[in-house]
Amino acid sequence: MRWLAERRRVMPLYPGIPAPMPPREPYAGWTRADLVALAEDLGIEGRSMMTREELISALLRE
């Protein structure tokens, strides 16, 4: 429900029109297995020892 709290901080541009949704985090909803498979396809070394956050960081650098 964090996005709901973030959304409340965004003011609508015009009365009666809802504010846009905040941007999602990169790779939101992806499992670690999904990230490892993508890292393997991209040839990132050491992917089996990385945490989910380290994998996302490495993928964003590619």
Span 4-46, pLDDT tens digits: 555 555 565 677 777 777 777 888 888 899 999 999 999 988 8
Return the pLDDT at 12: 57
Contacts of 59 (CB under 8 A, 6+ apart): 26, 27, 35, 38, 39, 42, 44
Return the pLDDT at 10: 58
Domain that holds residue 41: 2-61
**Total domains in the fold of the chain:** 1
Which residue from 9, 2, 55, 53 is spatially nearest to 24, judged by alpha carbons?
A: 2
Q: How far apart are CA 15 and CA 31, in angstroms?
A: 39
